[in-house]
């Protein structure tokens, strides 16, 4: 019995240590939220626990995967301090203004914006990395998605001296000296323009792939990426004729310079206009799939979900093509122009009625008075007349009955439908009603819903259950750090005092903070359906106290 008790106590001890470790790494424990008292600032974490007491004249939080570490930069007694995420002191800088951590660096480097009217870069020990010799040194972090491929992301940072640009690598070494008029990053390539207006091409180590010359220019805003062979291409333009070709990331011309325009059409497709002024469809190996016979080519619908292509012929008629260039729909005759086609959605207007393009590229027989689609890939808002709206799916099946004055699918999992009375019914993506309220908005994993008084609360997006109290105003805070991404919420009571909720609607800081807020008008669909007594807009909060403190 004694042996069993010892084993049990040891198990409980390790279980407690594991729980504490998990809590320390949870998104709530990792978050940092600003609080203040008597014009001094502090920080709490996402559970409401104090990280820094309200003793600082200014606080800025630097967090995210682009930084080597998470930093808290805080000012106390007119001196700037670098602190760890847990609030422990790392370094005191004796400078007049806030030190700025440099992103995408493996070393802890900080830009000092002002010292004796000059700018420089120092490390965490205070040693100078870039001397204080330039008044206009600027470091701008660059984020390039590489078409969602982060393994070839360059960790490069712009530098700027006297209007000329260069860049540093992740170790703070100057890869490209600041002698160029313009520098642009592309997928595994850097385009540079010198002071004579000549364009050249470099790799991420600053080595020349194509040295600047007066014959060609480069267009890195239309980089084409071939997913099948991990190759990337950039348009190269002959200055004399203005004709285009393509270069790869080694600087070689892989498509001859003989086209007026080249446009990527993902995945692994492109349209090319020759000197006749007509387009053809080509694949990733630049093989033409169709003749040069189209006045225009564009994607129909979400490219990654169906990949259908619409080709406009010179007479104004249109064809629907698959990704092999084969025509799949010509009957009934389709006619498109910029006034009656929604390019981004698989909806077409035929004889003043809207029809849906099925997953097989054919038109469904149902014809609608009006139709639209905003964020969803598979759900459509349709109407039989101006007052009877509902939701159908890609197969034409009715998900929400056509009896509402307005209906909208926010993505594929939430549907909002407004009754004539002003109430809003909220459904999931399969058409099951979750709740009825006076206003609703989807935000991340939560719903924001309004009651008859125009106040707002958080609700569960899966079952519609209201999770929080109702507040005068509520606004999300998106928090991203090195461990993940999480939501928090600023809430205001009737006296315009602010507090915080965590991502599940639990109050972690009561409404006790004085804050100012303004309305910034913005159009739908930022807020799908607002409360009946509410203006359409996006609420943006700002803090005057921090300005006053500085």
Query: What pLDDT is attached to residue 115?
Result: 60
Q: Which of 140-149, 175-184, 188-197, 463-472 has the lowest mean pLDDT?
A: 140-149
Stretch 18-22: mean pLDDT, rounded?
41
d(CA 200, CA 208): 8
d(CA 7, CA 15): 12
Q: Is 549 helix (H, G, I), strand (E, B) or coil?
A: helix
- Smallest Cα–Cα separation from 205: which of 220, 189, 217, 193? 189
d(CA 325, CA 348): 19
d(CA 362, CA 395): 11
Query: What pLDDT is attached to residue 21?
Result: 41
Query: What pLDDT is attached to residue 107?
Result: 75
Query: What pLDDT is attached to residue 470?
Result: 94
d(CA 474, CA 417): 22
Q: List, for residues 312-364, the tens digit of each pLDDT value.
A: 888 877 888 888 888 886 565 565 544 444 445 677 777 778 888 777 777 88
Q: What are the boundaries of each domain within the chain? A: 463-550
Q: List, for residues 212-225, the tens digit of each pLDDT value.
A: 988 999 887 777 77
pLDDT beyond 80 at 446 = yes
Query: What pLDDT is attached to residue 306?
Result: 55
- Smallest Cα–Cα separation from 456: which of 525, 411, 521, 505? 505
d(CA 67, CA 185): 19
Q: Which two tokens stand for residue 71?
A: 């930093």
- Smallest Cα–Cα separation from 35: which of 71, 11, 61? 61
d(CA 66, CA 141): 9
Q: List, for residues 267-316, the tens digit of each pLDDT value.
A: 678 899 999 999 999 988 889 999 999 998 887 654 444 567 888 888 87
Q: List, for residues 69-88, the tens digit of each pLDDT value.
A: 888 999 998 888 999 989 99
pLDDT beyond 50 at 425 = yes
Question: Which one of 307-316, 513-522, 531-540 scores highest in mean pLDDT?
Answer: 307-316
d(CA 373, CA 383): 12
Contact 405, 387 (CB under 8 A): yes
Query: What pLDDT is attached to residue 340?
Result: 43
pLDDT beyond 70 at 228 = no
Q: Which of 201-210, 408-417, 422-431 has the lowest mean pLDDT?
A: 408-417
Beta bridge partners of 199: 193, 213
d(CA 301, CA 309): 9
Contact 418, 406 (CB under 8 A): yes
Give 82's Cβ-side CA count (13 Å radius).
23
Query: What pLDDT is attached to residue 138?
Result: 61
- Measure CA 172 to chain center: 27
């Amino acid at each position: 019995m004694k042996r069993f008790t010892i084993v049990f106590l040891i198990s409980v001890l390790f279980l407690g240590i594991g729980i504490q470790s998990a809590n320390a790494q949870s998104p709530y424990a990792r978050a940092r939220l600003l609080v203040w008292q008597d014009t001094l600032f502090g920080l709490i974490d996402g559970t409401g626990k104090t990280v820094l007491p309200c003793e600082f004249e200014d606080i800025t939080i630097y967090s995210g995967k682009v930084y080597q570490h998470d930093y808290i930069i805080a000012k106390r007694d007119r001196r700037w301090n670098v602190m760890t995420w847990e609030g422990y002191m790392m370094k005191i800088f004796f400078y007049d203004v806030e030190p700025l951590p440099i992103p995408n660096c493996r070393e802890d480097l900080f830009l000092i914006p002002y010292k004796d009217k000059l700018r420089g870069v120092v490390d965490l020990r205070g040693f100078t990395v870039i001397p204080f010799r330039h008044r206009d040194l600027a470091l701008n972090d660059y984020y390039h998605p590489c078409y969602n491929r982060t393994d070839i992301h360059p960790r490069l940072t712009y530098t700027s001296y006297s209007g000329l640009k260069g860049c540093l690598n992740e170790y703070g070494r100057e890869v490209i000296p600041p002698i160029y008029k313009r520098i642009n990053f592309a997928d595994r390539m850097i385009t540079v323009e010198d002071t004579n207006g000549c364009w050249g091409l470099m790799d991420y180590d600053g080595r020349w792939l194509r040295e600047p010359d007066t014959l060609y220019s480069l267009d890195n805003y239309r980089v084409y990426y071939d997913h099948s062979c991990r190759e990337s291409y950039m348009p190269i333009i002959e200055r004399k004729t203005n004709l285009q070709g393509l270069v790869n990331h080694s600087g070689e011309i892989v498509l001859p310079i003989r086209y007026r325009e080249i446009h990527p059409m993902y995945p692994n497709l492109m349209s090319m206009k020759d000197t006749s002024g007509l387009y053809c469809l080509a694949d990733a190996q630049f093989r033409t799939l169709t003749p040069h016979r189209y006045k225009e080519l564009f994607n129909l619908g979400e490219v990654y979900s169906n990949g259908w292509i619409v080709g406009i012929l010179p007479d104004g008629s249109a064809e629907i093509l698959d990704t092999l260039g084969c025509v799949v729909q010509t009957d009934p005759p389709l006619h498109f122009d910029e006034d009656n086609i929604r390019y981004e959605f698989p909806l077409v207007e035929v004889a003043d009625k809207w029809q849906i393009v099925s997953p097989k590229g054919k038109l469904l027989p149902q014809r609608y008075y009006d139709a639209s689609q905003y964020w969803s890939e598979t759900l459509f808002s349709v109407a039989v007349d101006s007052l009877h709206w509902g939701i159908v799916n890609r197969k034409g099946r009715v998900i929400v009955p056509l009896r509402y004055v307005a209906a909208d699918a926010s993505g594929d999992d939430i549907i909002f439908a407004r009754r004539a009375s002003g109430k809003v019914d909220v459904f999931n993506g399969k058409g099951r009603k979750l709740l009825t309220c006076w206003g609703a908005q989807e935000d991340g994993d939560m719903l924001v819903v309004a009651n008859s008084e125009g106040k707002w609360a958080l609700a569960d997006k899966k079952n519609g259950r209201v999770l929080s109290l109702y507040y005068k105003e509520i606004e999300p805070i998106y928090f991203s750090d090195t461990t993940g991404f999480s939501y928090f919420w600023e809430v205001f009571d009737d006296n315009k005092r602010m507090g915080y909720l965590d991502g599940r609607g639990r109050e972690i800081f009561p409404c006790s903070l004085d804050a100012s807020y303004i309305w910034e008008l913005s159009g739908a669909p930022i807020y799908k359906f607002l409360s009946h007594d509410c203006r359409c807009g996006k609420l943006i909060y700002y803090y005057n106290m921090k300005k006053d403190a500085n």
